Each structure stands twice: as structure tokens, then as C-alpha cells.
Structure 1
Amino acid sequence: MKSAARHAIDLAGFEAKFRAGPDPWHTLTARDEAIKRQRILRALGDGPIARILELGSGNGSNSQALARRALKLHTCDGSASATQLTRQALADAPNAHAWHIALPAPLPGHRYEAVVIAELLYYLAPRAMQRLAKDVANALAPGARLVLAHHQIEFPDNTQRTAGIHDRFINALGRSVTKVRQFRSQRWIVDGYRA
């Protein structure tokens, strides 16, 4: 049996989705997304974190919770509409700033105590993901946390297969990290690593 044809979504596709509505994947309202968000926070460990970088912030559904854990939060997204939605979500968070950055590209800061990447990696081509991995490796402060959260189910619009996406990213980092937390559901996986 043939699998469905793959039609990878690009930045223009993401822009169209966020222009059509502020919550195209129901990340603000779905119970499963709320559970995943709590697992992301648990994967960060306890206590406040000096600087957190969130890559692929989308509509800011995770950003608000991350801002409450960070002394300083930097977010970025490749869609201008998504970036604006993140800015609106963070309007009451003076410690947070959202950038419109299409990844891979230079990151907005130099060192972070935590980096969170959710629902992004399988939309990048393998070489782009490898470049991003190198940038993230350089941005992780000693002892920093890295949290990866992605679906396990396959989609027809992602560039890479979901299976093994975390392992491929970790292998591309070029530096040693240790997995310290893992949470799974039937749909997604959240892995927490320490640099």
C-alpha cells in the first residue's frame, strides 16, 4: 500500500495558516496540547531559568508559560503573522521578546540556560536542521536544558519523517547532552536533555 503523497509546507504556507486564523492547530484550546505544554515545563526542571530561547513559537501558546519560568525569554518564528501573535500573547510579559526569524539563521542571543523547540524540526530540510543544531549547540550555556517536543504521528506536510527526529537533531548537535526526562503520549514525545 502506498503512503500518502508528501507536500511539505513552506514559510508561505505557515503564513497563510496563521493569517487565516490565530490557532490553526488548536494549540491554545486542545486538552492534549495543554498536557504537552505542562510536560515541556516539567522537562525544563525546577525553579526559574535565567534565559530561555523558544524556537518556532507559532501563536505563542507555549510562550506565555515559558515567560513565567524565565527571567528573560526570547522567541522566534519564521512567519510574520505567527510572530505578531506571539507578541500579543506576551504583551503582559516585559521579560519577553519575540523576533521574526526564519530558521536556520543567527539566533537572537549568545547563551541560554534553556532552549525549547516544539513542532519545528520535521518541517526543516535535513541540512537546515543540521545547521540549526550547530547554532543551538553554540547557544547552550554549560549545564543548560534542551527540550524537544514533537508529534510521533506522520503528517503529509512535513519535510522529514517524524520517527527519530529527536535522535537526528541530537546527533547533529556535535556536543554531548544527556537525556534527563522523557514524556510520551500516543501522539507526541517530549524529551529533556542537559548539556
Structure 2
Amino acid sequence: MISSDGYFDALYDACDDPWGFRNRWYERRKRLLTMAMLPRERYRRAFEPGCGNGELSAQLADRCDNLLAADLNETAVRLAAERVAATPHVQVECRSVPQDWPDGSFDLIVISELAYYLDASGLDQLAERIKSSLTPDGTLLACHWRRPFDAAPQTAACVHALLDARCGLTRLVRHEDPDVLLDVWSHDSRSVAEQEGLA
């Protein structure tokens, strides 16, 4: 499980943008890739755990009727709430997933730079939570840094392989480069063109 003690608190105590979400081209490019890979133009209800300071949340808000963004760090929650303050259909809460998973179902779940902080038990629980709360037409997007670092007990490859095996979804698209791994899965295996009746 992820603990709010220590690691994340120290990062946010030092800086309100510890990963450079606002200014680094790597992060902006990753968000552009994330948004481009989503197979649907619009989602009814989305969940983004591990939202950090809300930069991705602000972009997801443009594609969702309702978005629940969450983080276990109180500073991150405050920053994210400030970032999306002009979008009343976005709610930001303090939650530690997977144990504090919200009620209800979602047609989009975005797991970005989060799951490799979980131990094996937590990762299993995350997959079960996703499986039980994703709607029949739902989309799961996972995005993780591929390079090893001390705070992550899991690799991006292991996380995505487990989600692929356990969530009962069809992988629609994958982007892989030396830095980042992004996968999109859905219950609906049709391509974007097929969904629009073009193929």
C-alpha cells in the first residue's frame, strides 16, 4: 500500500510541483499522448487517483461530464482543487487507493504514475477495484515511467502486465518509448473508426 507518511510529504514540502508537471516538455508531451490515446471523445464519469497537483485533471475535465480526482497527499489535493476551481464538474478528494476506492461505477479510470508504488497485495487489490467499478463500455488508461527508481517496488512493465491479465479488458493501443509506457484497455474492442461506423 502507499503511505502518506514520508516520501510524498517530503516531495511536496520541498516544492509544489515536484515532478515538473507544469514546465517540463516530457510531462506536457505525456499528457498530450494520454489524451490522444483515449478512444472516446467524451466520458460520463471518470476517476483519476494519484492526481498530484491537477495538471492532467485539468485536461481530463474537458473530456468528462464528471471527474473525481484524488490524491493521498493533502498538499496535492489542495493544489489540484485550485487548478480545477473553474470546472465545477470536477471533484477533488483526499483518498489513498486502492483501499479507499470510491463508490459507484466509472466509464474512465486513469492510473497515471501511481501503481508502481504499490506492493504486490496492493496491486492485486487495485486490479480488482478497477474490474468491479468499470462500466461495460468503460476505458482504463495506465501510464507509468519506465526507468527504475528507489521508491517504486514495481516496474511499469509488471504493473501493465498485471492489469492486462487481471482486469478482463481488451488492449486497444500501446505507446512505449525508453521513458514511458502507456496502455489503453476497454470492454469495447472496436476501434475508433468502427465505433463511428467507418470501418
TM-score for both structures, normalised by structure 2: 0.88
The residue aligned with 2:191 is: none
Report 1:152-167 matches (<5 A).
152-167=146-161
Task: Give the counterpart of 1:107 among 101, 108, 111.
Answer: 101
What is the aligned-residue identity percentage?
26
- Name stretches of at least 5 consecutive residues in structure 1 with no aligned partner: 1-8
Q: Tell me if structure 2 keeps the 8 A contact 1:106–1:135.
A: no
Query: For 2:146 and 2:111, how far apart are their aligned partners in 1?
Result: 15
Report 1:50-65 matches (<5 A).
50-65=44-59
CA positional deviation for 1:10: 4.3
Q: Tell me if structure 2 keeps the 8 A contact 1:177–1:193.
A: yes
SS at match of 1:92: coil
Instruction: Please list the CA deviations of residues 146-188 of structure 1 after superposition, one character each: whole Å capped at 9, or x if unmatched.
Output: 0000011111221223332201233233xx2011111222200
Q: Tell me if structure 1 keeps the 8 A contact 2:128–2:166.
A: yes
SS at match of 2:66: strand
Task: Give the counterpart of 1:137 among 109, 125, 131.
Answer: 131
Quick one: which amino acid aligns to residue 38 of structure 1? Answer: L
Q: Tell me if structure 1 keeps the 8 A contact 2:48–2:70.
A: yes
Task: Give the counterpart of 2:8 among 14, 22, 26.
Answer: 14
Establish whether residue 194 from structure 1 lines up as the match of residue 186 from structure 2: yes
Establish whether residue 39 from structure 1 lines up as the match of residue 33 from structure 2: yes
Q: Tell me if structure 2 keeps the 8 A contact 1:51–1:70.
A: yes
Query: For 1:17 and 1:102, how far apart are their aligned partners in 2?
Result: 17
Q: Tell me if structure 1 keeps the 8 A contact 2:156–2:181.
A: no
- Name stretches of at least 5 consecutive residues in structure 2 with no aligned partner: 188-199
Q: Tell me if structure 2 keeps the 8 A contact 1:15–1:82.
A: no
Q: Tell me if structure 1 keeps the 8 A contact 2:108–2:140.
A: yes
Establish whether residue 183 from structure 1 lines up as the match of residue 179 from structure 2: no
Root-mean-square deviation (CA, aligned residues, Å) is 1.7
The residue aligned with 2:194 is: none
Query: For 2:62 and 2:71, how far apart are their aligned partners in 1?
Result: 20
120-129 or 100-109, larger mean C-alpha shift: 100-109
156-165 or 26-35, larger mean C-alpha shift: 156-165
Establish whether residue 74 from structure 1 lines up as the match of residue 75 from structure 2: no
CA positional deviation for 1:50: 0.8
TM-score for both structures, normalised by structure 1: 0.89
Establish whether residue 86 from structure 1 lines up as the match of residue 80 from structure 2: yes
CA positional deviation for 1:103: 1.4
